[in-house]
């Protein structure tokens, strides 16, 4: 029987066990990718005694096959495209631009909702643990890591409870370190590795970001 996480909170606890060397790290910061990465990141931040914030990235789904990522955009104007998928599917520039414009609006909406009233996110020189609930194609995580690189983060650690077995290699040039609890050979979707993979709401993200983290230093 394959190992399943009970929920995202438990997955974050297990992931934190793989990141123990960063516990209490000076200048360390856990960034959760919304929505599913925030509850995982909350558990990681609490266990490692590090502050938690949110980093917003939007997948660019192929028109008509939205689950297939042709790229992703992140805060700061970064766009990372999967040129192999774009070329293989002969996607026209106009279709790509339309998807990107729509997802840009959603990215800006989430920035207003999640980051309203929060201090400006500072990543320069810091050790960033970038967390999601799972990594399939890696496009979203890659866009996030590239955006953090542009922000001059000191070290970028990409971390997820479960990831495709090619994820570490695919993200190697964007991150300094890759950490996963599970990397199954047969990977169909992130949700198959969770008993409870209920969609996380915007309100739940906001509540987790506002919740106190015991022994965490202020940003």
The whole-number pLDDT of residue 59 equals 84
For residue 134, being part of any structural domain is answered with yes
Reported as type and span, the H/E element at residue 10 is helix 8-17
The whole-number pLDDT of residue 2 equals 64
Supply the CATH number for residue 96's domain.
3.40.50.2020
The whole-number pLDDT of residue 218 equals 42
Mean pLDDT of 14-42: 97
* Cβ-based burial of 176 (10 A; exposed 0-12, middle 13-18, buried ≥19): middle
For 159-217, the pLDDT digits (tens) are: 999 999 988 888 888 899 999 999 998 888 999 999 999 999 999 998 999 888 864 44
For residue 215, being part of any structural domain is answered with no
Domain with 57, as residue range(s), is: 8-210
For residue 217, being part of any structural domain is answered with no
For residue 3, being part of any structural domain is answered with no
Burial letters 15-25, b for 16+ CB under 10 A, else e: bbeebeebeeb
What is the tally of structural domains in the chain?
1
For 115-138, the pLDDT digits (tens) are: 777 777 889 999 999 999 999 988
Peptide bond into 135 cis (omega under 30): no
């Amino acid at each position: 029987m394959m190992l399943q996480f009970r929920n995202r909170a438990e997955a974050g606890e297990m992931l934190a066990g793989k990141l123990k060397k960063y516990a209490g790290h000076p200048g360390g910061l856990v960034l959760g990718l919304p929505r599913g990465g925030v509850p995982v990141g909350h558990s990681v931040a609490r266990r490692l005694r590090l502050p938690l914030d949110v980093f917003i990235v939007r997948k660019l789904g192929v028109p008509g096959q939205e689950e297939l990522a042709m790229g992703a955009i992140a805060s700061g104007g970064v766009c990372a495209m999967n040129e192999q998928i774009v070329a293989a599917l002969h996607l026209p520039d106009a279709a790509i631009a339309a998807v990107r414009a729509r997802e840009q609006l959603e990215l800006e909406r989430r920035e207003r909702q999640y980051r309203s009233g929060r201090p400006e996110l500072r990543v320069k020189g810091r050790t960033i643990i970038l967390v999601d609930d799972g990594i399939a194609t890696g496009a979203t995580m890659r866009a996030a890591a590239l955006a953090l690189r542009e922000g001059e983060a000191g070290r970028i650690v990409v971390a997820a409870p479960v990831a495709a077995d090619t994820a570490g290699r695919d993200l190697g040039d964007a991150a300094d370190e890759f950490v996963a609890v599970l990397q199954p050979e047969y990977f169909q979707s992130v949700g198959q590795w969770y008993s409870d993979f209920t969609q996380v709401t915007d309100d739940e993200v906001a509540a987790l970001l506002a919740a106190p983290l015991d022994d965490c230093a202020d940003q």
